[in-house]
Amino acid sequence: MTIAFFDFDGTITTRDTLWEIIRYHRGRAAMYAGMVQLLPQLLRFKLKMLPAQEMKEEVLAYFFGEMPVADFSAGCERFCREQLPSLIRPQALAAIRDHQRQGHHVVVVSASAQDWVAPWCRRENIVCLATRLEVKNKHLTGKIQGINCNGVEKVNRIREAYRLENFREIYAYGDSEGDRPMLALAQHVSFKPFR
């Protein structure tokens, strides 16, 4: 058996989908107003004074904290139908379909939330391993459930889901330092392959 792991943001898509989902749910003006409000945290993050997970939670809490999860999920489903197709790199989709034609198992492993990655994956018959958002009383808290699915956590999530020794060949596609641990699992490595 052969398995292929794909990063999502920047590898399959042309840009980071977190800001795209914010723009879709809240509108352009609200997104930019929020960025201004979050500027001190964003600067601390750029200066490596704020960890990535904390920064992501600040953004999620600002834009989606206390949002009913049913409303969020419905919006994410619409985003995947209406907006996401225009962000998909054609070469990435061609590579995915080539793996599928060969009978390979294809998995997206993403730091983005499964809420807006999984609906697209389901339509493309791809398994999705992604960041999970915390929900309490049927509302988003703005926190991540567990650990952001990036860096070493990508490997942890893969190993939770698969016994890699059962696969004869492993392919991995990524575009950032957060993908390096996942890429290290593979014999066939592609870094920024679709640009």
At 20, is the secondary structure helix, strand, or coil? helix
Q: What are the pLDDT tens digits along the chain (195 aa)? A: 999 999 999 999 999 999 999 999 999 999 999 999 999 999 999 999 999 999 999 999 999 999 999 999 999 999 999 999 999 999 999 999 999 999 999 999 999 999 999 999 999 999 999 999 999 999 999 999 999 999 999 999 999 999 999 999 999 999 999 999 999 999 999 999 999
Whole-angstrom Cα distance, residue 45 to residue 75? 28
Question: In terms of DSSP bridges, do strands 139-145 and 127-136 run parallel, antiparallel, or are they unpaired?
Answer: antiparallel
Whole-angstrom Cα distance, residue 18 to residue 111? 10
The radius of gyration of the chain's CA atoms, rounded to the nearest angstrom, is 17
User: For residue 88, what pLDDT is reported?
Assistant: 98
Residue 34's Cα: distance from chain center in Å?
21
Q: Residue holding tokens 């398994």? A: 127
User: What is the amino acid identity at position 19?
Assistant: W
User: For residue 26, what pLDDT is reported?
Assistant: 96
User: For residue 187, what pLDDT is reported?
Assistant: 97
User: For residue 152, what pLDDT is reported?
Assistant: 97
Helices vs. strands in the chain: H and E counts, helices first: 9, 6
User: For residue 83, what pLDDT is reported?
Assistant: 95
Q: What residues contact residue 191 under an 8 Å CB cut-off, 6+ apart?
A: 174, 175, 179, 183
Q: What residues contact residue 129 under an 8 Å CB cut-off, 6+ apart?
A: 107, 108, 109, 110, 149, 154, 157, 158, 161
User: For residue 110, what pLDDT is reported?
Assistant: 98
The sign of the CA dihedral 125, 131, 136, 141 is negative
Q: How far is CA 107 from CA 29, 76, 118, 167, in A?
A: 35, 20, 11, 13
The model carries a pTM of 0.94
